[in-house]
Structure 1
Amino acid sequence: MKNKTFLKRLLVVSPLLATTLLAGCHKYEKAAADEPDLISSNRDTTVAPGDDFFTYANGTWIKNHPIPASESSWSIGKEVQEEMYARLRDISEKAAKADAADGTNEQKIGDFYHTGMDTTTINRQGLQPLKPELDRIEAMKTPADVQAVIAQLKPYGVTSPAGVFVEQDAKHSDVMALYLWQSGLGLPNRDYYFNTDSRTANIRQEYVKHVANTFELMGQDAHTAQQNSARVMKLETAMAKASRKLADLRDPYANYNKMSVAELDKLTPGIDWKNWLAQMNISNVDSVIVGQPEFYKETGKLLSNASIDDWKAYLRWHLVHAYADNLSKPFDEENFRFYGTVMQGSTEQRPRWKRVLDAEEDAMGEMLGQLFVKDYFSPETKQRYEQLADNVVASFRDHIKKLDWMSDSTKQKALAKLNKINKKVGYPEQWKDFSDLEIDRSSYVRNVMRANQWWYNYNLNKLGKPVDRTEWSMTPQTYNAYYNPSNNEIVLPAAIFAVPGLKDAEADDAIIYGYVGASTIGHELTHGFDDQGSQYDAAGNLRNWWTDKDQELFKKKVDQIVNQFDNYTVLDSMHVNGRATAGENIADLGGIVIGLDAFKKTEQYKKGEKIGGLTPVQRYFLGYALGWQSHQRDERLARQILTDVHSPANLRVNGPFADVPEFYEAFDVKPGQKMYLPDSARVKIW
């Protein structure tokens, strides 16, 4: 199921370092004299702050933390993740050895981990676990058969042109609605099928080889495998041609097309949607919100006119692709060769136990989360960060009141929305119930399939029921955060507050307000008022609450930040997509200025004493940069530019800092330095 929340980061970690979590409002205790200050030791002072602040702040850390061969990137999040893995491994290994009663959390965790690590059985079984689904594909004879098989594969998470999911109705946030979204591709998005640069063209060629190699592993001869790979590429290219670009998917009005099931039938002649949805276990639905009607118009044609052999090749490939890293060694290694090495630059597989733990997290993350927060995120810690969130909200409130470009009537509505934002901190009050998830020791692939089916049914069951506004879309052990416009909420998992190597007593407020207050809390709050979030009202409905004049002024400011980031070049020739990344860039800038003003109310700022030779404001900016401490391989970076609404980490620091006057003052940035922007070119929104 697609989750259209606005995410801050893409890293996964845990609250395991809750014993070293940063304290939001407490007295700073200086570390021992022989212990270097974390912020100072990360810096590369050979780089001028005004030329490249990201490298100045994190350069020494990057030099001392090379990217492992098994990774496509390394970051502060990965550092925390290492401890998560150690503890999860301990829990899972003990559960696997325990004689736990059937149906208990311990039994499910232990059996899942056991089957994932039992490579002897996995290799012996080969494709056998997928035989029922492969037989269904082979038996297809008509377009109706194709639709039926797509419906049967849907609960197992197999990619297909039926991008069906359940989510709050964007214009009626108290109702759960059925959505159709563009889907069906094996490459990350449409641009990979059409961009003509050598890097992307090579990936296309390698993809065709990869699909053919997979067909050979399935038992086909080389000629047949190449023919079927061409069939897959032909269908996917047609779907890609009808798909919208990344930036276009950010317009909530353009991607909201509500229609009756009868109207959907007219859009896609040849598809009986009532019947097809029923085959997907979706009934009693009279309307559907279609994100991209042109995609489904093309899908209807393909389902009616493309040959059955084309669809057989396509569905065989996507079924095996969906479970390749859970299958026997040849499939796992070929999957890694393309998606790990070609796409992301990694040269060796990550340890199997880590990959099994990732799958375990996907299958039953909240089950694990309950164990974590019990020991590693106390009620006192939760309360501490709730207070910090309140402080940042208060700062944002002051910013809105002082805006010189927004009218009083719009300000009142903006303040009403801000005041209604629900702040979820640490972990959910209600945990998901996995009692009906069946896990055993018969097959790793089937365990993963049953977990996918459980999540599919869990989400479908929301149709026709009241919206559960207490639900979380992330586990507590996730190093991430999000703003959900339909709930008008920010969600801050426990893990996002952790910093490896920094004990609670060693964290001064400057670091806290930069690392947590700005890059996380302020960032997520600003998402409620970025180019997308600003289109939703206080109740979470897609509704215009701006005056025409204010909306026009806001759009001009958004265009400024779009232009700023459009002009950043990475990897010699690739440019940041300023329009696609606008929301994240707005949130970064907003978080920085809001967090800074919140920090200015602390005793540390008022005293102005230096720590490690750095002023409080200097430490604040360095604390923010700490949150983006990372580097990645060129292949991973190229993929990010084409597929991600987040700018590269260095530009999430250097870009917004160039717009903040206090940054210039704190580090004496002068004209002629690379980050310097004249006053007239600096973006100011919130």
Structure 2
Amino acid sequence: MATLPRLLASAIACSLASSAVLAAGAPSGVDQKGMDRSVKPGDDFNAYANGAWEKTAQIPADRASTGIFLQVFEKAEKRNADLVKEAAAANAPAGSNERLIADYYKAFMDEAAIEKAGLKPIEPALAAIDAIKDKPALSTALGAQLRADLDPINATHLDTGHLLGLFVAQGLDDPSKNYPYLLQGGLGMPNRDYYLKDDKDMVEARTKYAAYVQALLAQAGTPDAAAKAKAVVALETKIAQAQLSIVESEDIHKANNPWKRAEFATKAPGIDWNAYFKAAGLDDQPTFIVWQPSTVTKFAALVASEPLDTWKAWLRFHALDENAFVLPKAFDQLSFDFHGKTLTGTPKQRDRWKRALGLTNADLGDAVGQIYVKKYFPASSRAEVQDMVKNILKAFDARVDTIDWMSPATRQKAKAKIATIKVGVGYPDTWRDYGKLEIRPDDAFGNHNRAELAEYRHQVAKLDKPVDRDEWWMTPQTVNAVNLPLQNALNFPAAILEAPFFDPKADAASNYGSIGAVIGHEISHSFDNTGAEFDAQGRLANWWTDADQKHFKEAGQRLVEQFNQYEPLPGLHINGQQTLGENIADLPGLAIAYAAYKESLGGKPAPVIDGLTGDQRFFLAFAQSWRTKTRDAALRQQVIGDGHAPGPFRAQTVRNLDPWYDAFKPQPGQKLYLDPTQRVRIW
């Protein structure tokens, strides 16, 4: 996957071999009550596996969706709540992780103190914006607000509200050193389509966004808020027009644009880049990798052409918008009404204690993570899962040997890449040190902004250090997993290694179908349409023969066309190219997990459990792991701006695997049925 940013995935394998042959009375790991047997598997496998559940499932009022991921997340959330309570009760010494956690949580929960402080915490930032007198000073202000962004390879669609975002990692051509990457940003809505598309839902979103911008500025006492709001939305529309689309941004070859610092003045005139980089603390960097070069050039032109007062209004709005949750309730409520109710259809804001946990995890992730794994993920579990991942990697390696269209030269390079994948399970081997971060029990606003600045400085500091291929990009308490092409590495956080993704009491078939497919998915990301562009060292390099690459891309195009047919909402189709990386990872990931499951049986037949064969349990577990029910507004946002197809359509991946046909006997003429020659096989 790669993220929440583009996230999703998990772990499994070898130790399951001992439990593969179970007594007939052992639990199947399949929720049969959630199935709808009135639906033919060949017409809609997701409905067959999840239809009864979907008919009765209720999306919580404070959520945009529900499903298996929420179920596992809530387990981790409950554990985090207990950890925070224990940290508060421990009266730990100043500077300890426990004290940082307790004080951070306490400050956010102290609503009375936040109300009393009013706008005082943000007034210095607003005053600094008001003090901008000319365009060079604007360049300084824009540089000073540069902040760390997400991994662009896994989250190109996640724009920062700042004009540009920073990502620090090894170079695309030079894996020996870290480089600063610059990525497009600048929008208050999810992505550029919300500004540029003319269908009624996007038009309605824009209307409500304009009202929100005005209301937020007015709440802060901004003079002439209506005119300023209109100018902000007009500016962001121009920013959206300057941005590249998600599909364009995912073309890694178009992203590899090293610019010398001195070249910015001629390649992107309009920003005082010397002032910008000095304010960002990057004036000593000789080279930047500019992910969307045409966008940066257009952004700089907008800085020059648009009125200074418009930019100041834009800066003011974003300062308020990005901090609304640590400002008085009136600001927080306005923010939720738009970002929650309008954009995702969620009617109720999450309880404050839940949001406090989320923010604590975001800003003190490793501090919470260290305590989390000590209590809930022992070293023995880590070792067990590491063995599982090794078995899935072994199955992938064996599968490469069977690919008849792949030449020996390409096969050798693929196997070398598999052999060098770095797998992180549960938690990192080294932890972030928060010793220099000031956290106060009475300063929610300051705590969050100091933590955000500390994260930025942590990323910038990597520019002077050797590349760390063991670096983690998720915290242990995150319910997700990620593939990191530049590091040729995988992260499987502890929190996702839980039932029903992985249940040691359940049958091996369901474990392989669920967590095994997640592990296979992340491994397969190393060989999706983006991952396949990187070699074993994480270097952008073509290791394919021309014929092999042609076959690979043709197979990918067939998968694009398959997903283009799916229609989550009337008139709104999945973009098969936008979701191609995730769909490629799903397909071989499932095939590899199936191969590993069959290997785990040791040549013995799988038992029939609860009337289901082993293969039936495997595929049902896969489909049930994608069990999801989503509000229409949130579903629309996902389809437009996310690299992942909605879960119910990912469950239909089974239609490309021959063993699924043997297990469920779909017939020609049924909606999912594909002739053997039409089934997509990539790895």
Confirm or deny: 8 A CA contact 2:483 2:522 kept in the other structure. yes
Confirm or deny: 8 A CA contact 1:605 1:616 kept in the other structure. no
- Show the counterpart of 2:19: 27
- Show the counterpart of 1:628: 626
- Tell me the CA shift for residue 632 of structure 1: 0.6
- Show the counterpart of 2:129: 137
- Tell me the CA shift for residue 155 of structure 1: 4.8
Q: Deviations over 1:474-529 (max 9, x none)?
A: 11111111111111112111222211598522x111011111111x1111111111
- Show the counterpart of 2:598: 600
Q: Deviations over 1:591-628 (max 9, x none)?
A: 11111111111228732320110000001111212321
My pick for the range that moved more, 42-51 or 485-494, is 42-51
Quick one: which amino acid aligns to residue 332 of structure 1? Answer: D
Quick one: which amino acid aligns to residue 58 of structure 2? Answer: P
- Tell me the CA shift for residue 530 of structure 1: 0.8
Q: What do you get for the CA RMSD once the two structures are aligned?
A: 2.4
- Show the counterpart of 1:531: 529
Quick one: which amino acid aligns to residue 394 of structure 1? Answer: K
**The residue matched to 1:415 in structure 2 has which SS?**
helix
Confirm or deny: 8 A CA contact 1:208 1:233 kept in the other structure. yes
- Tell me the CA shift for residue 29 of structure 1: 9.2
Confirm or deny: 8 A CA contact 2:30 2:621 kept in the other structure. no
> Residues 535 and 98 from structure 1, CA distance in 2 versus in 1: closer, same or farther, beyond 3 angstroms?
same
- Show the counterpart of 2:197: 195
Quick one: which amino acid aligns to residue 202 of structure 1? Answer: E
- Tell me the CA shift for residue 47 of structure 1: 1.8
- Show the counterpart of 2:207: 205
Q: 1:96 aligns with which of 72, 88, 102?
A: 88
- Show the counterpart of 2:472: 472
- Tell me the CA shift for residue 33 of structure 1: 6.9
> Residues 164 and 522 from structure 1, CA distance in 2 versus in 1: closer, same or farther, beyond 3 angstroms?
same
Mapped to 1, the partners of 2:635 and 2:35 lie a distance apart of 23
> Residues 13 and 412 from structure 1, CA distance in 2 versus in 1: closer, same or farther, beyond 3 angstroms?
closer
Confirm or deny: 8 A CA contact 2:148 2:455 kept in the other structure. no
- Show the counterpart of 1:152: 144
- Show the counterpart of 1:348: 348
Quick one: which amino acid aligns to residue 138 of structure 2? Answer: V
Q: Deviations over 1:523-548 (max 9, x none)?
A: 11111111100000111100111111
Confirm or deny: 8 A CA contact 1:50 1:673 kept in the other structure. yes
Confirm or deny: 8 A CA contact 1:11 1:479 kept in the other structure. no
**The residue matched to 2:210 in structure 1 has which SS?**
helix
Q: Deviations over 1:553-574 (max 9, x none)?
A: 1111111111111121120101
**The residue matched to 1:543 in structure 2 has which SS?**
coil
Is 2:217 aligned against 1:225? no
Mapped to 2, the partners of 1:32 and 1:320 lie a distance apart of 60
Q: Deviations over 1:298-318 (max 9, x none)?
A: 111121221111011100000
Mapped to 2, the partners of 1:96 and 1:522 lie a distance apart of 40
Q: 2:2 aligns with which of 2, 6, 26?
A: 6
Confirm or deny: 8 A CA contact 2:109 2:353 kept in the other structure. yes
Mapped to 1, the partners of 2:502 and 2:161 lie a distance apart of 42
**The residue matched to 1:576 in structure 2 has which SS?**
coil
Mapped to 1, the partners of 2:245 and 2:163 lie a distance apart of 16
Mapped to 2, the partners of 1:567 and 1:418 lie a distance apart of 33
**The residue matched to 2:410 in structure 1 has which SS?**
helix
Superposition map of 1:607-646 within 5 A: 607-646=605-644
Quick one: which amino acid aligns to residue 681 of structure 2? Answer: K
Superposition map of 1:572-583 within 5 A: 572-583=570-581
Confirm or deny: 8 A CA contact 1:96 1:107 kept in the other structure. yes
Confirm or deny: 8 A CA contact 2:501 2:514 kept in the other structure. no
- Show the counterpart of 2:323: 323
> Residues 134 and 78 from structure 1, CA distance in 2 versus in 1: closer, same or farther, beyond 3 angstroms?
same
Mapped to 1, the partners of 2:363 and 2:515 lie a distance apart of 29
> Residues 392 and 97 from structure 1, CA distance in 2 versus in 1: closer, same or farther, beyond 3 angstroms?
closer
Q: Deviations over 1:280-337 (max 9, x none)?
A: 1113211111111111111111212211110111000000111112211111111111
Quick one: which amino acid aligns to residue 61 of structure 2? Answer: A
- Show the counterpart of 1:55: 47
Q: 1:566 aligns with which of 564, 567, 587?
A: 564
**The residue matched to 1:81 in structure 2 has which SS?**
helix
Superposition map of 1:286-305 within 5 A: 286-305=286-305
Confirm or deny: 8 A CA contact 1:8 1:584 kept in the other structure. no
My pick for the range that moved more, 483-492 or 32-41, is 32-41
- Show the counterpart of 2:103: 111
My pick for the range that moved more, 315-324 or 28-37, is 28-37
Mapped to 1, the partners of 2:515 and 2:10 lie a distance apart of 15
Mapped to 1, the partners of 2:442 and 2:645 lie a distance apart of 43
**The residue matched to 1:423 in structure 2 has which SS?**
strand
Mapped to 2, the partners of 1:304 and 1:626 lie a distance apart of 53
Mapped to 2, the partners of 1:12 and 1:665 lie a distance apart of 28
Confirm or deny: 8 A CA contact 2:513 2:622 kept in the other structure. yes
Is 2:185 aligned against 1:186? no
Confirm or deny: 8 A CA contact 2:361 2:368 kept in the other structure. yes
Quick one: which amino acid aligns to residue 49 of structure 1? Answer: P
Confirm or deny: 8 A CA contact 2:530 2:581 kept in the other structure. yes
- Tell me the CA shift for residue 386 of structure 1: 1.5
Confirm or deny: 8 A CA contact 2:144 2:276 kept in the other structure. no
Quick one: which amino acid aligns to residue 98 of structure 2? Answer: E
Is 2:394 aligned against 1:394? yes
Q: 1:545 aligns with which of 527, 543, 546?
A: 543
Mapped to 2, the partners of 1:162 and 1:204 lie a distance apart of 22
> Residues 342 and 495 from structure 1, CA distance in 2 versus in 1: closer, same or farther, beyond 3 angstroms?
same
Superposition map of 1:447-486 within 5 A: 447-486=447-486
Is 2:284 aligned against 1:284? yes
- Show the counterpart of 2:516: 517
> Residues 35 and 541 from structure 1, CA distance in 2 versus in 1: closer, same or farther, beyond 3 angstroms?
closer
Confirm or deny: 8 A CA contact 1:216 1:225 kept in the other structure. yes
**The residue matched to 2:626 in structure 1 has which SS?**
coil
Mapped to 1, the partners of 2:179 and 2:209 lie a distance apart of 35
- Show the counterpart of 2:669: 672
> Residues 675 and 167 from structure 1, CA distance in 2 versus in 1: closer, same or farther, beyond 3 angstroms?
same
- Show the counterpart of 1:421: 421
Mapped to 2, the partners of 1:33 and 1:62 lie a distance apart of 27
Structure 2: tracts of 5 or more residues without a match: 150-159
- Tell me the CA shift for residue 130 of structure 1: 0.4
Mapped to 1, the partners of 2:147 and 2:7 lie a distance apart of 26
Q: Deviations over 1:444-501 (max 9, x none)?
A: 0111001101101000000121011222111111111111111111211122221159
> Residues 100 and 395 from structure 1, CA distance in 2 versus in 1: closer, same or farther, beyond 3 angstroms?
closer
Quick one: which amino acid aligns to residue 510 of structure 1? Answer: A
**The residue matched to 2:336 in structure 1 has which SS?**
helix
Confirm or deny: 8 A CA contact 1:14 1:478 kept in the other structure. no
Count of residues paired in the alignment? 673
Confirm or deny: 8 A CA contact 1:22 1:512 kept in the other structure. no
- Tell me the CA shift for residue 38 of structure 1: 4.1
- Tell me the CA shift for residue 80 of structure 1: 2.0
Is 2:364 aligned against 1:372? no
Q: Deviations over 1:237-263 (max 9, x none)?
A: 111111111111111110111121122
Q: 1:69 aligns with which of 43, 61, 74?
A: 61
- Tell me the CA shift for residue 101 of structure 1: 1.8
% identical aligned pairs: 37
- Tell me the CA shift for residue 156 of structure 1: 9.3
- Tell me the CA shift for residue 65 of structure 1: 3.1
Mapped to 1, the partners of 2:355 and 2:668 lie a distance apart of 49
Quick one: which amino acid aligns to residue 511 of structure 2? Answer: I
Is 2:679 aligned against 1:682? yes
> Residues 325 and 9 from structure 1, CA distance in 2 versus in 1: closer, same or farther, beyond 3 angstroms?
closer
**The residue matched to 2:274 in structure 1 has which SS?**
helix
Mapped to 2, the partners of 1:289 and 1:319 lie a distance apart of 27
Quick one: which amino acid aligns to residue 483 of structure 1? Answer: N
Mapped to 1, the partners of 2:99 and 2:451 lie a distance apart of 15
> Residues 561 and 670 from structure 1, CA distance in 2 versus in 1: closer, same or farther, beyond 3 angstroms?
same
